[in-house]
Amino acid sequence: MSITASESVELKEKDILHSSRLGVFSSDAAEYTASIDIDVKLLSSVVAINSAHVIMLAERKILDRKIAGQILNALKQIPNDFEMKAELEDVHMNVEDYVISKIGNDSGGMMNLGKSRNDQVATAIRMALREDLILLAKSIVKLEKSLLVQSGKYSASVMPGYTHLQRGQPVTLGHHLLAHFDSLDRDFSRLVDCYLRTNLSPIGAGALSSTGFDIDRDRAAELLGFDSVLENSLDAVSSRDFATEAIYLCTQTMTDLSRLAEEIILWTTREFSFAEISDEFASTSSMMPQKKNAIVPEIFRAKTSQVLGDLTAAMGLMKSLPLSYNLDLQELTRNLWSAMDKAIVSISILSDVISELKFSVDNMMEAVKSDEFLFATELADYLVEKHHLSFREAHNRVGKLVRHVASNNSGRGQITTASPKVLSEILGVTIPAEELKLIFDPKLALQRRSAVGSPNPRLVKEAVKKRRESISKHEATINSLEDGISESRELLSSAANSIEKLGKGTGSLGR
């Protein structure tokens, strides 16, 4: 990739970028400032943008159709494995250089009329990001489906619910998994929002102030599948909030899911024994033969930090940039792809982990039954309902009872094993044995909850059903986004064909 100083001098003769204005460009500087390593991802979009721009120029009679046809034909010949030269800095100059080398400077040299690398790169990033956002949407839906299957399967399985990682009250496993589904579903709706703001076209904004040629920005936007133009030319070339928003989306989604990853790690410990991760996603120790480590969720947690790092870097990079374009923006693109790549892959593999996770419902139920403190709130509620105590009074009395039981049992203990005398003394009321039993029944505690969003198995089943419908809607959304992109590809190629045909028919300048 690097070029020597003597090569630099030679290049100066041919280099379409540095040839006249500047002297020799240092090879170290070329390597240091080049973006061709990350530009590979932009190549097909850059080719499409050049085609759309040239078609628009020809349609507006700004560019001779014959020349336009030649440029379009040269652009078509760019191979997928197009080798880019670092001394040309980026994909934009490499594509232009290729076209000029094919059809000469008189024709090829017209391709950049009325546009700049600044509007072009902003447009290309948006186009590449559209596709990444669709991949991310697919990963999210894949994980949503895994969560929903497991939630449905375990809609009635009782487990301890936690606050502060201390046992709180019984919940259902299906309900717990649906909590993760719901936060992920908000991430999906953020993604759709982000897509709308991404799918706006900067091309035609030029370097910063558009152009004096009578271009049609709407037409270029249409040919590239954008919803509309990003209007203000300074904003169009210099804003990257669509990109930082996408990195934030990755960060938020992965942060949400990193909590699930953390729970899988906890639940698969012997201390919890609530689940077993599939061998496919676990590893053992090189020394301790018994180990089964949940390494995929561990790496998920770590990648979440890296994506957060991308967000921090990107926001930091933006905060002091004066309008409009500055080359710093190029480096933000690295953070964008890094975050998108990590999020897409991580969410997809976490979905596989969830599908294959084996939950131990017996161990969860055992954890609930062996810890009657989980029902302390139920007991307090009972005192309010049956004996008309204020809640605070009931809370105090039950708290005293728990303290008494725990102090005699090294912090643990079963409330119902306390003698009826002690119970009546501390609670100040006598609870018949058969009623006491009902208070500590996990299934009844869950059934008593009928408010919307409760862990009641009946409500969990209904919630799962409702969320299945929302997944179908998401799939329809993804399809329509994909259709938009493929329709614009067809539009672009048929518009290019007609310009090429017209170009062959006329010999005259269309201007």
Residue type, 222: E
Task: Establish if 239 lies at the interface with ligand ARG (CB under 6 A).
Answer: no
Per rule CB under 6 A, count of chain residues that contact ligand ARG: 11
- Is the sign of the CA dihedral 202, 203, 206, 210 positive or negative? negative
Least Cβ distance, residue 267 to ligand ARG (angstroms): 44
Instruction: Name which of residues 75 to 94 contact ligand ARG (CB under 6 A).
Output: 90, 92
What percent of the chain is helix, strand and coil (3-state, nearest 5)?
Answer: 70, 5, 30
Instruction: Name which of residues 306 to 325 contact ligand ARG (CB under 6 A).
Output: 325
Least Cβ distance, residue 305 to ligand ARG (angstroms): 26
Nearer to ligand ARG, 327 or 509 (CB): 327
Least Cβ distance, residue 98 to ligand ARG (angstroms): 16
What is the C-alpha separation between 395 and 400, in angstroms, rounded? 9
| Other beta carbons within 10 Å of 227 | 14
Task: Establish if 244 lies at the interface with ligand ARG (CB under 6 A).
Answer: no
Residues 143 and 354 sit within 8 Å (Cβ to Cβ):
yes
User: Which residue intervals of 154-227 are DSSP H helices?
Assistant: 173-198, 217-223
Per DSSP, which regions of 120-220 are E strands?
158-163, 166-172, 200-201
Nearer to ligand ARG, 154 or 325 (CB): 325
Task: Establish if 329 lies at the interface with ligand ARG (CB under 6 A).
Answer: yes
Task: Establish if 333 lies at the interface with ligand ARG (CB under 6 A).
Answer: yes
Nearer to ligand ARG, 121 or 427 (CB): 121
Instruction: Give the HSE-up count for residue 38: Cα atoms under 13 Å, Cβ half-sphere.
Output: 19
Residue type, 173: L
Instruction: Name which of residues 12 to 51 contact ligand ARG (CB under 6 A).
Output: 35
**Strand pairing of 200-201 and 228-229?**
parallel
Q: Who's near 457: CB < 8 A, 6+ residues apart?
A: 155, 156, 172, 174, 446, 447
Which residue bears the tokens 């050049």?
50
Least Cβ distance, residue 28 to ligand ARG (angstroms): 17
Structure tokens at 481: 């986004």
Write down the catalytic residue from 2, 6, 285, 494. Answer: 285
Per DSSP, which regions of 268-310 are E strands?
275-276
Least Cβ distance, residue 276 to ligand ARG (angstroms): 47
Nearer to ligand ARG, 331 or 441 (CB): 331
Structure tokens at 284: 């053992």
Nearer to ligand ARG, 151 or 335 (CB): 335
Among 114-122, 224-232, 312-320, 441-449, which window interacts with ligand ARG (CB under 6 A)? Answer: 114-122
**Angle CA 466–348–269, to nearest 5:** 90
404 in active site:
no
| Residue of the chain from 8, 94, 112, 118 that contacts ligand ARG (CB under 6 A) | 118
Q: What is the phi/psi pair of residue 276, to 5°?
A: -125, 130
Structure tokens at 185: 């579903």
| Residue of the chain from 66, 117, 126, 176 that contacts ligand ARG (CB under 6 A) | 117
What is the C-alpha separation between 373 and 457, in angstroms, rounded? 22
Nearer to ligand ARG, 116 or 251 (CB): 116
Residues 286 and 368 sit within 8 Å (Cβ to Cβ):
no
Task: Establish if 357 lies at the interface with ligand ARG (CB under 6 A).
Answer: no
176 in active site:
no
Structure tokens at 408: 């005699």
Site string (258-277) toward ligand ARG, x via CB under 6 A: --------------------
Among 7-15, 57-65, 227-235, 328-336, which window interacts with ligand ARG (CB under 6 A)? Answer: 328-336
Write down the catalytic residue from 20, 164, 286, 419. Answer: 164
| Residue of the chain from 327, 444, 476, 509 that contacts ligand ARG (CB under 6 A) | 327
Interior/surface letters 365-378, b for 16+ CB within 10 angstroms, e for the rest: bebbeebbbbbbbb
Least Cβ distance, residue 311 to ligand ARG (angstroms): 19
| Other beta carbons within 10 Å of 224 | 26
Nearer to ligand ARG, 37 or 279 (CB): 37
Least Cβ distance, residue 92 to ligand ARG (angstroms): 6
Least Cβ distance, residue 87 to ligand ARG (angstroms): 13
Residues marked as catalytic = 164, 285
Note the residues at the interface with ligand ARG (CB under 6 A).
35, 90, 92, 117-118, 121, 325, 327, 329-330, 333
